[in-house]
Structure 1
Amino acid sequence: MVAPTPYSLIATDLDGTLLRADDTVSERSLAALARAARAGARHLVVTGRPAPRVRPLLKDLGCTGLAVCGQGAQVYDAAADRLIWSVTLDRDLAETALGKIEAEVGQVYAAVDQDGVDGLTLIEPGYRMPHPTLPALRVGRRDDLWCAPISKVLLRHHALSDDELAATARAVVGSLATVTMSGPGTVELQPCGVTKATGLALAADRLGLSPERAVAFGDMPNDVPMFGWAAHGVAMADAHPELKAVADEITSSNEDDGVAVVLERLFG
């Protein structure tokens, strides 16, 4: 008989957390999630990836319910293959925000994730995808990025570190957008006030689940709001210091099945 646990919701980031470097989920992690499911816990993927880039991973995980995508800007229903909630970033505000950032740091290179279950990732000349396995369409000029509604903008700088670029962007963007950092080479602008916590709260409410019974796993600063929402936040061993500072627990790295290590203890 499975021992009782105070957690009925498991929220996991993907890159650097549940996924290994090759974009796979280990058999140990799959087994730990399955054991938690048998105990009555629900698993929600909460990722910066947009819905179109999450679909194949959800199939591998056997997820047929809800997933929080696009840094919280999208709640995706895998069974129906549709977005049940989405927020777009105003494209004029995005352009203005980029202008303010470039006035401070010089040229940045930008990409966008389009809204919708079939939205594309568009990258301007000079932008290099941080995840080479993710599909993207290169456009001829920046103006082409704004051809359709977008959920977020991704930024890179040739010399500044991610922390430096994110700090400068936060200082100058103000209420035009929310600035976050979700991984190496991934500083992002998303709709103002939208975070992983807002999307997670919406999805949890639809499932009748509460933050008091939620455990969250992550590795980057974009997971900080999620840790603030959930009762228990678990950072990976190689997580960003900003996330470790607010975590309730540190586990092993994603390569060493850190999510499974904790779930085996909670649902063992």
Structure 2
Amino acid sequence: MTSWRPLLVALDIDGTLLKWVEGSGTTHEEIAPAVRDAVRRALDAGTQVVLASGRSAHGMTRIADLLGLHDEESERLWIVASNGAVVFRYPPLEVVHEETFDARAAVEAVLRHHPDALVAVEERGVGYRVNRHFPDGELSGEMKVTTVDDIVSGPVSRVIIRDPNATADDFVELGRKLGLHGTNYVVGWTAWLDLAPVGVSKASGLQYVADELGIAATDTLAIGDGRNDIEMLQWAHRGVAMGQSVEAVHEAADAVTASVYDDGVAVELAQWFPNGTGPGTPA
């Protein structure tokens, strides 16, 4: 075992901490005991644990609560939301950094190919503004139905485009075809496209947090399962893909752990924070 131990652990949520509900596009909102215990050992060892997700800010606080990441004596958490476009402290929820962009041209380009697609942007603290309702469970909070023109009328931190009648491969090919100049884009497990400002990713959000904490990427372990985790896995000293990830994620990672269904986060963290790890315990 190497003497290296991460000072910062960055964790994706859906498909990493939470198990997918087969065929529904949603996840079980519960943390496996083995995963929670492993995260607790990392915290007890003095390591910073940062959640990094494509979710909006208000969709992440409950997961922090389920993990027990904070108590009355600890400093407020750092959390990276919206694929790096939003960084906030919690509790209470306070946005401390946000990147925005003009998404109109990119959204119009995608809708020319998928005219029936669903479009959403975050309405902070409430939910999302959408052109039509998304399938149940796919967005957290309320959905306020409005027009696409209204949705992209001003700067936004992230746009979600979802076509239930298409596939992830359709969106991967569309992204390559369009180029989507002026934006970053990430395709999810289904035909789910996240648009963000150029240069913004979970890695850029984590770099902001690491700078604030005085921690280097070389002291960081990151674990994730999706295409939106690739930059994060490459940025960290040790980037670990979940076992069920697609091949592109495996290729970007330094290692592959067990699947989310076999508590892969707990398997990986046990290498650095074995049972008995805590204050005063040697590595």
C-alpha contact (below 8 Å) 1:110/1:153 kept by paired residues: yes
* Percent sequence identity over aligned pairs: 28
Structure 2 CA distance for aligned equivalents of residues 146 and 101 of structure 1? 13
In structure 2, the residue matched to 1:15 is 14
In structure 2, the residue matched to 1:256 is 262
In structure 1, the residue matched to 2:111 is 102
Q: What runs of 5+ residues in structure 1 fail to find an aligned partner?
A: none
Is 2:131 aligned against 1:124?
yes
Is 2:215 aligned against 1:209?
yes
> Of Structure 1 and Structure 2, which has the larger fraction of its residues in helix?
1
In structure 1, the residue matched to 2:88 is 76
Structure 2 CA distance for aligned equivalents of residues 130 and 175 of structure 1? 31
Structure 2 CA distance for aligned equivalents of residues 108 and 245 of structure 1? 30
Distance 1:140 1:67, change over 3 A: closer
Q: Give the superposition deviation at 1:157.
A: 2.5
Q: Give the superposition deviation at 1:214.
A: 0.9
In structure 2, the residue matched to 1:36 is 42
Distance 1:176 1:136, change over 3 A: farther
Structure 2 CA distance for aligned equivalents of residues 176 and 6 of structure 1? 38
C-alpha contact (below 8 Å) 2:127/2:140 kept by paired residues: no
Q: What runs of 5+ residues in structure 2 fail to find an aligned partner?
A: 20-26, 70-75, 275-283
The one-letter code matched in structure 2 to 1:87 is E
SS for the counterpart of 2:66 is: helix
Structure 2 CA distance for aligned equivalents of residues 235 and 32 of structure 1? 17
Question: 1:153-206: per-residue Cα shift (whole Å, max 9, x none)?
Answer: 111235431132133134324332111124434211111211111001001111
SS for the counterpart of 2:28 is: coil
C-alpha contact (below 8 Å) 2:106/2:181 kept by paired residues: no
C-alpha contact (below 8 Å) 1:48/1:182 kept by paired residues: no
Structure 2 CA distance for aligned equivalents of residues 222 and 173 of structure 1? 17
Find the partner of 2:59 among 53, 72, 77: 53
Structure 1 CA distance for aligned equivalents of residues 191 and 115 of structure 2? 17
Question: 1:213-256: per-residue Cα shift (whole Å, max 9, x none)?
Answer: 11110111110000111011111111122101111111111122
Distance 1:179 1:261, change over 3 A: same
> TM-score normalised to the size of structure 2?
0.84
Distance 1:149 1:97, change over 3 A: closer
> TM-score normalised to the size of structure 1?
0.88
Deviates more, 1:95-104 or 1:74-83: 95-104
C-alpha contact (below 8 Å) 2:164/2:191 kept by paired residues: no
In structure 1, the residue matched to 2:99 is 87
Structure 1 CA distance for aligned equivalents of residues 154 and 57 of structure 2? 16
Structure 1 CA distance for aligned equivalents of residues 138 and 111 of structure 2? 25
Structure 1 CA distance for aligned equivalents of residues 169 and 163 of structure 2? 11
Structure 2 CA distance for aligned equivalents of residues 236 and 39 of structure 1? 23
Structure 2 CA distance for aligned equivalents of residues 251 and 184 of structure 1? 23
C-alpha contact (below 8 Å) 1:5/1:267 kept by paired residues: no
SS for the counterpart of 2:180 is: helix
Is 2:184 aligned against 1:178?
yes
The one-letter code matched in structure 1 to 2:99 is V
In structure 1, the residue matched to 2:24 is none
Find the partner of 1:113 among 111, 119, 122: 122
Question: Root-mean-square deviation (CA), in Å?
Answer: 2.2
Structure 2 CA distance for aligned equivalents of residues 206 and 119 of structure 1? 28
The one-letter code matched in structure 1 to 2:266 is A
Structure 2 CA distance for aligned equivalents of residues 207 and 57 of structure 1? 22
The one-letter code matched in structure 2 to 1:73 is A
C-alpha contact (below 8 Å) 1:123/1:136 kept by paired residues: no
